[in-house]
Amino acid sequence: MQLDTVWACTRLISDTIAAMPLKLFQRESDTSSVLARNHPLYRVLYIAPNADMTGMEFWSAMVGSLLLWGNAFAQVIRRGDKTVISLNPLRPDRMTVRRDPDDGSLIYTYSYQGSVITLGEDEIFHIKGYSLDGLMGMSPVTAGRQQLGSAMAAEETAARMFANGLLSQTYIKSPEWVPDEQVERAKQILNDYRGSVNAGKTPLLEGGWTVESIGMNPEDMQLLQTRGFNVETICRWFGVAPVMIGRMEKSTAWGSGLEQMNLWFLTYTLQPWLVRIEQAITRCLLTAVEKDAFFAQHNVDALLRADSAARSQLEATQVQNGIKTRNEVREKEGLPPLPGGDMLTVQAQMIPLTDVGKAAVQPTLKPVPGGQPSAQSSDQAAGETENV
């Protein structure tokens, strides 16, 4: 996490997912569903997973554990009727998972403050990252340890060079053997030119002393290029475009490309994590009966919103073509519903091409016995008038 690229990628993905509303839905039919506000799990997932954390804090910690350790664990607290009332996050590096040889169930062993706790499958909420055995997720940090180690070595080298005033590749050459008392005197003189604060000062060398260089200087080692390349390498491990964490050397995040970049980020980076979380909720937190009737889903509309003009045009088209009601659009924009706004409407002026140029015949109303009006065409009404 001391590498700025690792920090930026982890924070970007975890905070973006945590900021997406995660809600529980109930299926009404194969094509429709409603919010399951009355289900106890709705509040746990969306508002407060436990007494100490908000939904944002909890899911940010869980996704951060997924990105760094490849697994995320939480202890499930249930009532007597098996209803989930709380989720308490657990550190993945303190968890051991093994399979019971007798019944095949998974046993979770957690070490905490000198004690060891054993938990069963129904007491653990486990989200797995990319895995080869389906039991435990793989840690990107462990898999990419060579590239991360190279990046850390480059950062450490740069830090030492700046701390030493960029003179780490030089030495002072004496014309002859120097007595001990003169060595101490020479060190005191050179201390005035050591460190990044004194970088650029020119030392005064007497008695035939000279400055020599050894090895390669920072330009020959292409230290800056190496550090820049490490940013792109680490981004590959996390599936993040470098421009999303501020790597603006070869691209830009402004203009019309912002919407497409968000779409790419959602499709190729966030979507796999979102599906893993949603399916883990169904597997670990819902009963066998509830799995057919309830499901959890993230709301990704906020990430896909374009500029206000494009969004207004899209919403107007949806309302005019009967795709959404006016109250649905108002709810999306954070506005209260209006009376009569729950009706789907379509434009009525569209006619077949064969009817272009024909005059429209407006119906007229004629009183009939019983008090109910009868609709007749204007031609029929005109004919009856002539007969009278």
What does the pLDDT read at residue 148? Answer: 74
Report in angstroms the alpha-carbon separations of 127 from 69, 70, 87, 249, 284. 11, 9, 13, 36, 9
Question: Which of 165-169, 304-308, 353-357 has the weakest average pLDDT?
Answer: 165-169
pLDDT band at 167 (very low <50, low <70, confident <90, very high): very low
What does the pLDDT read at residue 220? Answer: 45
Element containing residue 172 per DSSP (H, E) = strand 170-173
Q: Strand, coil or helix: what is 98?
A: strand
Element containing residue 126 per DSSP (H, E) = strand 124-128
Q: Strand, coil or helix: what is 308?
A: helix
Rounded CA-CA distance 190/213 in Å is 16
Written as one letter, the residue type at 196 is S
Which residues make beta-bridge pairs with 108? 97, 119
What does the pLDDT read at residue 110? Answer: 96
pLDDT band at 373 (very low <50, low <70, confident <90, very high): low
Is the pLDDT at 53 greater than 80? The verdict is: yes
Whole-structure pTM value: 0.69
Is the pLDDT at 161 greater than 70? The verdict is: no
Sign of CA dihedral 31, 34, 36, 42: positive
pLDDT band at 377 (very low <50, low <70, confident <90, very high): very low
Rounded CA-CA distance 295/23 in Å is 9
Residues 160 and 167 sit within 8 Å (Cβ to Cβ): no
Question: Which of 266-270, 273-277, 327-331 has the weakest average pLDDT?
Answer: 327-331
Report in angstroms the alpha-carbon separations of 227 from 111, 155, 195. 38, 7, 22
pLDDT band at 113 (very low <50, low <70, confident <90, very high): confident
The mean pLDDT of 28-54, rounded to a whole number, is 91
pLDDT greater at residue 165 or residue 46: 46
The mean pLDDT of 104-133, rounded to a whole number, is 92
Question: Which of 21-25, 26-30, 155-159, 285-289 has the weakest average pLDDT?
Answer: 155-159
pLDDT band at 2 (very low <50, low <70, confident <90, very high): confident
Which residues, including other chains, have CB under 8 Å from residue 85's CB and lie 6 or more apart?
Answer: 40, 44, 77, 78, 79
Is the pLDDT at 368 greater than 50? The verdict is: yes
Residues 54 and 67 sit within 8 Å (Cβ to Cβ): no
DSSP category for residue 231: H
pLDDT band at 44 (very low <50, low <70, confident <90, very high): very high
Which residues, including other chains, have CB under 8 Å from residue 377's CB and lie 6 or more apart?
Answer: 361, 363, 364
- In 3D, which of 10, 25, 5 has the Cα closest to residue 273? 10
Is the pLDDT at 281 greater than 80? The verdict is: yes
Percent above pLDDT 90 for the chain: 34
What does the pLDDT read at residue 199? Answer: 55
* 12 C-beta neighbours (distance < 10 Å), count: 19
Rounded CA-CA distance 296/304 in Å is 20
The mean pLDDT of 307-336, rounded to a whole number, is 81
- Give tens-digit pLDDT for 245-274: 876 666 555 555 677 788 889 999 999 999
Question: Which of 43-47, 225-229, 328-332 has the weakest average pLDDT?
Answer: 225-229
Q: Which of 120-129, 159-168, 232-241, 303-312 has the highest mean pLDDT?
A: 120-129
